[in-house]
A and B are shown apart, each in its own frame.
Chain A
Amino acid sequence: MNWLDTILQGVLLGGLYALFAAGLSLVFGIMRLVNLAHGDLIVLAAFLILVLVTALGLNPFVAAVIAMPLMFAIGWALQYFLLNRTLGKDILPPLLVTFGLSIVIQNGLLESFSADSRRVFAGSLESASVNLGPVTAGIMPLMTFFSAVAVIVCLNQLIYRTSVGRAFRATSDDPVTAGLMGIRPQRIFAMATGLAMVVVTIAALYLGTRANFDPTSGPARLIYAFEAVIIGGLGSLWGTLAGGIILGVAQTVGAAINPEWQILAGHLAFLAVLLFKPRGLFPRAVD
Chain B
Amino acid sequence: MALLETTGLTASYGDFQALFGVDITVGIGETIAIIGANGAGKTTLMRSISGVLANAAGSILYRDEPIGALPAPDILARGIAMVPEGRKLFPSLSVEENLLIGRYGRKVDGPWTLDSIFALFPILKERRHNPSTALSGGQQQMVAIGRALMSNPEVLLCDEISLGLAPVVVRDIYAAFPRIRETGASIVIVEQDIAQALKVADRVYCMMEGRVTLSGAAADLSRDDIHKAYFGTEHHELA
Contacts and interface: CB of A to CB of B under 8 A. Distances in A.
A179 B101 CA distance: 11
Contact of A170 (B52, B76, B81, B101): B101
A156 interface: no
Contacts of B186: none
A227 to B, nearest CB: 25
B88 interface: yes
Contact of B104 (A167, A172, A174): A167
B101 A181 contact: yes
Nearest to A179: B72
A23 B147 CA distance: 31
B207 interface: no
A174 B89 CA distance: 9
Interface centre among A166, A172, A183 (most CB of B within 10 A): A166
A170 B93 contact: yes
B129 to A, nearest CB: 12
A181 B93 contact: no
B52 A166 contact: no
Contacts of B73: 179, 182-184
B97 interface: yes
Given A163-B100, A166-B100, A181 B76 contact: yes
A147 B40 CA distance: 57
A173 interface: yes
Interface residues of A, number: 17
A179 B88 CA distance: 12
Nearest to B88: A177
B69 to A, nearest CB: 15
B88 A181 contact: no
A272 interface: no
A179 B151 CA distance: 13
A182 B90 contact: no
A179 B147 contact: no
A179 B71 contact: yes
A182 B105 contact: yes
Contacts of B71: 179, 184
A264 interface: no
Given A170-B92, A172-B92, A173-B91, A181 B104 contact: yes
B50 interface: yes
Interface in B65-117: 71-73, 76-77, 81-82, 84, 88, 90-93, 97, 100-106
Interface of B: 50-52, 71-73, 76-77, 81-82, 84, 88, 90-93, 97, 100-106, 147, 151
In the complex, the 10 A-B pairs of residues with the closest C-beta atoms, listed nearest first? A179-B72, A169-B92, A177-B88, A173-B90, A170-B90, A182-B76, A182-B73, A181-B101, A180-B72, A170-B101
